[in-house]
Amino acid sequence: MSTTDAASDTSAPAHAPASVHLSDVVRPVTVAGLELSSPFVMAPMTRSFSPGGVPTEEVAAYYRRRAEHRVGLILTEGVFPDHPSAGDAPAVPRLAPWSADGWRRVVEEVHAAGGKIFPQLWHMGGNQPVEAAGPVHTPSGIDGRARHRGEALTTPEIDELVQRYADSARLAHELGFDGVEVHAAHGYLLDAFHWEVTNRRQDEYGKDLAGRTRLTTEVIAAVRAATSPDFPISVRFSQWKGEDYGARISHSPAELEALLTPFVEAGATILHPSTRRHWEPGFEGSELSLAGWTKKLTGLPTIVVGSVGLNTPFLERGEVGTADVGPLLERYEGGEFDLIAVGRALLANPDWITKTAAGRFDELTPWTKDVAAKLW
């Protein structure tokens, strides 16, 4: 974590009573051609309850419970495409032919409850345990501190990886998923290509921003080609990295536009800028959030995320209390963003929307590490 980030105020800012309440916005919406029961999204959260990479009946029930309580769109936990370097966590699900029956059950359960669901395609890159048994691939064979980490991907390996993303997306489409999300954030493989600190390449996948975004752009285009022209594709990106919360890819709106334009041209239909604190502005001197800037610059629907419903950012440990979402909802009603992703609050409370809309705040379960360790 950067010194500047550590010294900053981490709590949600105080606000005057908001004029918009959650019950006012729990209504059907249409975003990127998707008819959703509400604008609320379940943020992707790694659960590691899929032995052998196959989601179980309990995992299907876990996602269904959120859809039953008016979560309009569920983004699954990170799912490895069927490539040996994607990740070495045995209980993290994979999207491959041999896990198809488990995923089919997940989709059916969510749809039966009136929800929509995307798998989030995730390659861990260099952020794997040091004891990982499989290959570890990174853009340049280094981490964010210039230490040796993994092996730099060769061009043939990149081509193979892009194809595996396409194969997983094709399977998602065949299984009835409502779209897919490409995880290109938080310092994982695709985002490591974006960041000049970890991407020192001098070939077509490096040198400048156009080169550093090329892999993500190729993945998006391959997903589009493997599915259908109207299949929703969400792209999650971030400024911050797991090893540096103060990292920036874009220092200005113009740089953000240059980052995102290739994604839009390749076929992205929803953008999901991941922030740790939704209340912070995207750039100094502007009140717009990163989601607001993303929508303004690209015209695409955006998802806001970052400690929604909580009084501290996700870095904090111990018991995390609840916070008023009224000010955030005012910005939603003002059109700053299109969807609202909820993470830990929804993890601790499958019925968070139902209880919050009814003002039953005293019934909400605080987030703790013990809560995070359960599948409920």
List, by residue number, the catalytic residues: 188
Report the alpha-carbon distance of residue 220 to residue 10 in Å, rounded: 34
Report the alpha-carbon distance of residue 376 to residue 63 in Å, rounded: 9
Distant-in-sequence contacts of 330-336, Cβ < 8 A, 24+ apart: 330/18, 330/19, 330/20, 331/289, 331/292, 331/304, 332/20, 332/25, 332/39, 332/304, 333/20, 333/24, 333/25, 336/288, 336/289, 336/291, 336/292, 336/295, 336/304
As to burial, measured by CB atoms within 10 angstroms (0-12 exposed, 13-18 middle, 19+ buried), residue 22 is buried
Do the beta carbons of residue 98 and residue 55 sit within 8 Å? no
Those residues whose C-beta lies under 8 Å from the C-beta of residue 152, and which sit 6 or more positions away, are: 137, 138, 139, 140, 141, 201
Do the beta carbons of residue 360 and residue 332 sit within 8 Å? no
